Amino acid sequence: MNKLFLIILAASISASAHAQKYMTRTGKITFDATAPKSPEQIDAVNNEVAAILSAADGKLVFQVPVRSFKFQRDLMQQHFNENYMESDKYPKAEFKGGIEGKDAGIASTSGSHNVTVKGKLTIHGVTKEVSVPGKITVADKKVKLEATFAVKLEDYGISIPNLVADKVGKEAKITVNSELTGK
């Protein structure tokens, strides 16, 4: 029994030593919420996204400071923060989840892999389960995460008044393009 104890102890130590993590504070997320026939583009870029990926088990978290979304028009940015996202009340959007199924540990293998990421997405104080297809590219102590998915604004308690319904769509297309480096 003592031997088993030692083996488990050794295994646990070696496992945590191998728990390689990748991180960024300058990840990029963009979104486009332009209504189909809108005369102007409703899109924004955020270059201050923080994320950590734990390579061995594929656990992944994102933190998005809402105020860091930059719009082409300052007025849109004001309205986005004040009326739609209420960023004073909900300063961050978050994702907590991981790479699904047998691919969970895939970030330990270099190359480009198509994966599905599942987890809880919190926007505007509302949390929903999401499942998102994406691409993960591992090379040279860096991991690149790419994904495109759509969220229904309604699902996250963001209401668009009729006045701007011809410009702001019911869905926002979110594009993640972030490079994480090994810690």
Partner 1 sequence: MRCISTALLLLTCSFAGYGQSTDDLMSELDNATKTDKKEEVTATFKATRIINSSTVENLAAGVLDFRILHRFGRVSDGTENFFGIDNATTRIGLDYGVTKWLMVGIGHNTLGKTNDGFAKVKLLSQKVDGTPVSVSWFGGIAALGGKAPQMPPGMEYYFTHRLAYTNQLLIARKFSKKLSLQLMPSVVHLNLIDSSKFSNTMFSMGIGGRYKVSNRVAVTAEYYYRINNADMPFSGVTTYNSFSLGADIETGGHVFQLFFTNSQGITERSFINQTTDTWTDGQLHFGFNISRVFTVVRPKEFRNNAPAKNW
Give residues in contact with partner 1 (CB under 8 A).
1, 4-5, 8-9, 11-12, 15-16, 19, 23, 25, 39-41, 45, 47, 50-52, 54, 56-57, 59-61, 63, 65, 67, 70-75, 78-79, 81-83, 88, 94, 96-98, 119, 161, 163-164, 167
Alpha carbons 59 and 21: distance in angstroms, whole number:
10
Backbone phi and psi for residue 166, each to the nearest 5 degrees, phi listed first: -75, -15
Backbone phi and psi for residue 42, each to the nearest 5 degrees, phi listed first: -110, 90
C-beta of 57: minimal distance to partner 1 in Å? 4
Q: Which is nearer to partner 1, 98 or 169 (CB)?
A: 98
C-beta of 154: minimal distance to partner 1 in Å? 17
C-beta of 70: minimal distance to partner 1 in Å? 5
Q: Which is nearer to partner 1, 94 or 100 (CB)?
A: 94
Q: Which is nearer to partner 1, 81 or 137 (CB)?
A: 81
C-beta of 41: minimal distance to partner 1 in Å? 6
Helical (H) or strand (E) element with 6: helix 2-17
Q: What is the dihedral of CA 9, 15, 18, 20, to 10 degrees?
A: -130
Helical (H) or strand (E) element with 43: strand 43-54
Q: Which is nearer to partner 1, 64 or 112 (CB)?
A: 64
Alpha carbons 174 and 166: distance in angstroms, whole number:
20
Q: Which is nearer to partner 1, 15 or 112 (CB)?
A: 15
User: How long is the chain?
Assistant: 183
